[in-house]
Amino acid sequence: MAKISINIATGSLQQAEMIVGIDLGTTNSLIAIIHPESKQAVALQEHDSSSLVPSVIYFDELQNAIVGDVAKQYLETSPQNTIFSAKRLMGKSYQDVQQNEDFFSYKIIDDNTESLVKVQVGNKFYSPIELSSFILKELKNRAEHILKTPVTKAVITVPAYFNDAQRQATRDAGKLAGLDVLRIINEPTAASLAYGIGTTVQEAEQTIAVYDLGGGTFDMSILKINHGIFEVLSTNGNTYLGGDDFDKSIIDYWLAQHNITATTFKEDKQLSQGLRLRAEEAKKHLSNADNYQTNYQNFSLSINKETFEKLIQPLIDKTLACCANAVKDANISINEIDTIVMVGGSTRVPLVNKCVSNFFGKTVNNSVNPDEVVALGAAIQADILAGNNKNFLLLDITPLSLGIETMGGLMDVLIPRNSKIPSKVARQYTTQKDGQGSMRISVYQGERDLVKDNRKLAEFNLTNIPGMPAGLPKVEVSFMVNADGILKVKAQELRSGVEQTIEVKPQYGLTDEEVEKMLMDSITHAKDDIATRALVEAQTEGEQLLSTTEKFITKHAAQLTKEELTATAQAMQALQLSLTMNDKNLIQTKTEELNNISKPYAERIMDNAISQAMKGKSV
């Protein structure tokens, strides 16, 4: 797909609904459209400049936000006022980023460990959503300038492992930038679309591996595409591995060669910046040549391809280990993968292509510009949304189970992990107390049986439930996950119609490592969880029986014999005691004993009531 610069002020373009595709990247961002004449996806660029806009924001003395190449120049000279990698902070709490704090040279605020992070520049505070919105606004302005038409609608891509919070944050950033975000799609899905994979419903089923090695991150995704429907089978990767590490390995090689200590390198900012730039230049040069040589200060800096490849082999091996894990998680074998799609600037390194190709035993797809492939795919998706390809649907899966808290702090899963989205599930619940006027709905995400081990996403009260005996109200809780992976929860009391809805904007997000840890924990604790669930269920049943027996006795004491009353009191006391002992079997035995005692007289009294009623008396 050719990259062209568009400067069209034609009527046809202005009349048509312009929906752009945006790749909001960690290092670079860009915007693409379907060319109205050629019908090809093209990245927008102004004249001879690059289509890539560095995802860097510099705040000047007046706190004006400057985005892109100009901002990038301030990374070294004004690190406190220059924000990079804002994408890494999207939907994250301070706790989430704490372990990688050294990575950021600007100030990340810790006011409340569970709230979302903010970045401090001077005396102002910015959320990652605002920071991303500055980048999106810059892209929107550029596009409007090039296309000479307002740009208000967009499809934005996110990594496949982004959770609800991160997707919502991306959507909010779009809104803040004045964009109506029609859809959030996964980056690997977009990359596949750019290769024309999955663009028609007639296509046979295919399994695709998307290998995305950028400047600072590596993502591996395995997708299944069936008749135009995309499904993410698994994701893997490393959020701190990329082309920057290739550069670092060259720098380390030069430092050793010229006896420059790590301290000198760190303290001499000019030297470190100079070497960094030349290392990147060397790396890019070696993608097409066998030797690199330059003079810098008093140093003759050189490296040949063979040495470079030796240096980066361990880094490539790390990515291949992630590929192996992704294949395993997708429950497939390597030879079931039909196509490999290469994404990200670092896939220009020939050794990367060779190793990935060897690993999968197939030639890789790398003909589309790896920096633009995601944005081009987003533009294709935008075109589909504009109504140009109706037989098309994008489908993803939920990475973690979604559910609500029920009696005893148990997790009741409504949407299991790996469910296809969009998805809608409804389940009925009822009240525990007579006349209960409200019901609290707590929404959780995770795989453990007890909600305390999962992550709370939201909580709300369904109020104004009309007074009814316990167990009579029918409260239907429905979970709807839309195509962007955003969850809407509705609770409705069906007899009265009262309802309450909430769109889940989680308080804080999860990193992909945490998602993995939560899955691992659920496996490690599976046995404990089953035992705990059984105990909690037994306790809940015991408590309910105590409560109903008590009510029954108060109401019908006159119709019970003295022996029955004594036996019941004793059995209730024994059950009460067992509830404090965390012994499921004991609780079940005591519950059964109380049941055996109360059942005969309960039946007798009910029979009496029925025969009284038959005689025309009220129950």
HSE on the CB side for 22, CA within 13 Å? 36
Query: Out of 1, 28, 179, 337, which residue is the one contacting ligand AMP (CB under 6 A)?
Result: 28
214 binds ligand AMP (CB under 6 A): yes
- Only one of the segments 276-284, 394-402, 410-418, 596-604 lies at the binding site for ligand AMP (rule: CB under 6 A); that segment is 276-284
Indicate the residue among 81 and 217 with the shorter CB distance to ligand AMP: 217
Q: What are phi and psi of 22, to 5 degrees?
A: -125, 130
Examine the residue annotation and report whether 23 is marked as an active-site residue of this protein: yes
Residues contacting 222, CB < 8 A, separation 6+: 207, 208, 209, 210, 232, 233, 234, 235, 326, 327, 329, 330, 332, 337
- Only one of the segments 6-14, 237-245, 569-577, 609-617 lies at the binding site for ligand AMP (rule: CB under 6 A); that segment is 237-245
Indicate the residue among 284 and 305 with the shorter CB distance to ligand AMP: 284
Q: Of the residues 87, 140, 224, 584, which is catalytic?
A: 87
Examine the residue annotation and report whether 144 is marked as an active-site residue of this protein: no
Helices 269-286 and 243-257 cross at an angle (nearest 10°) of 110
Binding positions for ligand AMP, 148-187, rule CB under 6 A: none
Query: Out of 18, 21, 23, 27, which residue is the one contacting ligand AMP (CB under 6 A)?
Result: 27
Examine the residue annotation and report whether 338 is marked as an active-site residue of this protein: no
C-alpha 266/C-alpha 504 separation (Å) is 44
Taking the complex as a whole, the smallest distance from the CB of residue 43 to ligand AMP amounts, in Å, to 12
C-alpha 93/C-alpha 100 separation (Å) is 12
Distances (CA, A) of 152 to 35, 177, 179, 277, 615: 17, 9, 5, 37, 74
Indicate the residue among 251 and 397 with the shorter CB distance to ligand AMP: 251
* Count of Cβ atoms closer than 10 Å to residue 566 Cβ: 11
Q: Are 24 and 160 in contact (CB under 8 A)?
A: no
284 binds ligand AMP (CB under 6 A): yes
Q: What are phi and psi of 286, to 5 degrees?
A: -70, -10
243 binds ligand AMP (CB under 6 A): yes
HSE on the CB side for 569, CA within 13 Å? 9
Q: Of the residues 96, 164, 172, 212, which is catalytic?
A: 212
371 binds ligand AMP (CB under 6 A): yes
Taking the complex as a whole, the smallest distance from the CB of residue 84 to ligand AMP amounts, in Å, to 12
Q: Are 146 and 66 in contact (CB under 8 A)?
A: no
346 binds ligand AMP (CB under 6 A): yes
Query: Out of 72, 171, 283, 590, which residue is the one contacting ligand AMP (CB under 6 A)?
Result: 283
Distances (CA, A) of 297 to 251, 268, 608: 15, 13, 104
C-alpha 615/C-alpha 214 separation (Å) is 83
Indicate the residue among 274 and 422 with the shorter CB distance to ligand AMP: 274
348 binds ligand AMP (CB under 6 A): yes
DSSP E strands, 313-437: 339-343, 396-397, 402-406, 410-415, 420-421, 423-429
Interface with ligand AMP (CB under 6 A), residue total 18
287 binds ligand AMP (CB under 6 A): yes
Examine the residue annotation and report whether 603 is marked as an active-site residue of this protein: no
Binding positions for ligand AMP, 325-344, rule CB under 6 A: 344
Contact residues toward ligand AMP (CB under 6 A) are 25, 27-28, 214-215, 242-244, 280, 283-284, 287, 344-346, 348-349, 371
Report, as residue numbers or ranges, the catalytic residues: 23, 87, 187, 212
